[in-house]
Amino acid sequence: MTTTRLVVWRHGNTDWNAAGRVQGQTDVPLNALGEQQAVDAAELLVRLRPGALFSSDLRRAADTAAALAALTGLSVRRDERLRERHFGAWQGLTMAEVAETRPEEHAAWKAGADVVGGGVETLDDLAKRVGDALQAAVDAVPAGGTVVVATHGGAARHGAGHLLGWPREQLRTLRALQNCHWTELSYDDVRGWQLAAYNVGPFADRPVPSSL
């Protein structure tokens, strides 16, 4: 039985993460902390002997992937489907500002509703978009290897959930991925997709930041 490993890796820290701002698909770069996190995480991930490396086309994810590319010699294949959830009018705001200025939308988001309003992408659309990109990454390489995909917090959670066939209510029980942590999935023809590990990374003692 041939088993393929998929590592879904969240990007490093940014100034907007640090300030609690909703990033969504705004192209915010890594800060100095995020760059170091990417290097530290890559030193662990290289031990998994990845055979392919994919990334969101947003800089914070692509530059995170580049840290692993530097150790493996792999090229980074970018896919815009791996972008974070689009947060429409919320992008650039803190969650406190969203709650104050768009209270109904904020309440719907907090309750885990699929449709929030304000131009925010639905969770179903996010899950399918990212899940399709993850599946395409795995399908693009021979079975039995390790594929690493650098993406974003919400994208990682809902994309992996799409592959696993988990409902949104189940995904809400998972804590947000920390910066530069990852989810590991495995796939074989008998058992299909399975969750092997969640929120793995080198900074276990640090607080969990916003996944947006």
Fold category of 4-86+122-200 in CATH: Rossmann fold (3.40.50)
To the query of whether residue 181 is one of the catalytic residues in this protein, the response is: no
pLDDT for residue 208: 43
pLDDT for residue 1: 80
Q: Is residue 196 within 8 Å of residue 4, measured between CB atoms?
A: no
pLDDT for residue 212: 59
pTM of the predicted protein model = 0.94
Structure tokens at 182: 């990852």
pLDDT for residue 184: 98
Q: Is residue 3 within 8 Å of residue 188, measured between CB atoms?
A: yes
pLDDT for residue 181: 97
Average pLDDT along the chain, 212 residues, taken 10 residues at a time: 96 96 98 97 97 98 98 98 98 96 96 94 97 97 96 98 95 94 97 97 58 53
Domain span(s) for CATH 3.40.50.1240 in the chain: 4-86+122-200
Beta strands in 3-131 (DSSP E): 4-10, 52-55, 76-78
Q: Is residue 148 within 8 Å of residue 140, measured between CB atoms?
A: no
Number of H helices and number of E strands within the chain? 8, 6
To the query of whether residue 11 is one of the catalytic residues in this protein, the response is: yes
Please report, in range form, the residues annotated as the binding site. 10-17, 60
CA atoms within 13 A on the CB side of 91: 14
Which residue is catalytic, options 35, 43, 84, 162? 84
